[in-house]
Amino acid sequence: MRTNETYTPDRLSGISAFVAAVDAGSFAGAAERLHLTRSAVAKRIARLETRLGVRLFHRTTRSQHLTGEGQTFYQRCTKVLTELSEAEDELSAGSQTPMGKLRVTMPVHIGRQCIAPVLLTLAKTHPQLRLEMAFSDSRIDLVEEGYDLAVRSGRLDDTPGLKARSLGEQTMMLCASPAYLATYGTPQTVDDLADHECLMYGRAGNLYRWPTPMMPADGPHRSPRFILDDLIALVEAAEQGLGVACMPHWVIMRSIADGTLVRLLPQIRVPGTPLHLVWPDTRHPSPKLRAAIDALVSAAPALLGMPPTA
């Protein structure tokens, strides 16, 4: 095909139908996304295959799969459509008004408690901004899944094509309820914790032990009675006086502020777990993306609740 050959609306509609069919997993799904009939989608893709001289799908009565040529063409088409979207964003950037859909993925607990409220406030300020937020502790491929922004907890992998910005660190703290301490005493050293009930976080059979400086040299003298895979439930267990917990400060800072939990051994400090924003590297970030990043970075110190110096 000649590089200067004009792309008519019909040709572009064929590409759009093809990409939508791949993304939706079926012609029917593509028809729903494009507000067309299934037969209209099938005809557009058939004309595209005729023009290209290749089959893009292996189709049966029950399923459809990309051919090798279809997979290659899909990758090129998505890149072109992304560049077109970026071009539109670049033009709209002159207004500096956040608008359009912003898709964000984030870990469940910190997303609900810290990230979502900031983004909802941003959307309230900018009525033309639409939000789609996904809460998952799994690391999602932003480009493949079509997300604009992700919040990542922990060490970042060196992934080409992504940019990142730090939100700070999540500081771990020991705590217990006043009632528990009144009954069992307040530990004065790390080794004192060996005689206390330790509330532990665990998931899928894996027990997440406390950072070494916060764990007695010989470990707890008793097996943990409570192992929970939910941070909020862990807070509730601590507030009910069931033991000592070790959790990120952002999880328990409200409980400490209202006195339902008491911070223990403040002199013990460990390196915090980093928290980052990650997004696909684009030449011209859209106003909506820049606004979200700026809002979250600005709010980060209050979100993470940096603990006071002992």
DSSP sequence for 256-288: HHTTSSEEE-TT---PPEEEEEEEE--SS--HH
Domain covering 15-92, topology: Arc Repressor Mutant, subunit A (1.10.10)
Q: CA 158, CA 165: separation in Å to the nearest integer? A: 13
All structural domains of the chain with their residue ranges:
15-92, 100-169+274-304, 171-272
pLDDT band at 309 (very low <50, low <70, confident <90, very high): very low
What separation in angstroms does the CA of 233 have from each of 202, 236, 287?
12, 5, 38
- Chain mean pLDDT for the chain: 86
Q: CA 55, CA 64: separation in Å to the nearest integer? A: 12
Domains 15-92 and 100-169+274-304 equal at CATH topology level: no
Give the tens place of pLDDT for each residue, 127-143.
Answer: 999 999 999 988 888 88
Q: In the chain, pLDDT over 70 holds for what percent of residues?
A: 89
pLDDT band at 9 (very low <50, low <70, confident <90, very high): low
**Domain range 100-169+274-304, CATH class:** alpha beta
List the one residue out of 246, 251, 232, 260 whose CA is nearest residue 196: 246
Q: pTM higher than 0.85 for the full model?
A: no
Is the CB of residue 15 less than 8 Å from the CB of residue 36?
Answer: no
Is the CB of residue 38 less than 8 Å from the CB of residue 52?
Answer: no
Q: CA 30, CA 19: separation in Å to the nearest integer? A: 8
Check whether domain 171-272 has CATH 1.10.760.10, yes or no: no
List the one residue out of 241, 157, 162, 246 whose CA is nearest residue 207: 246
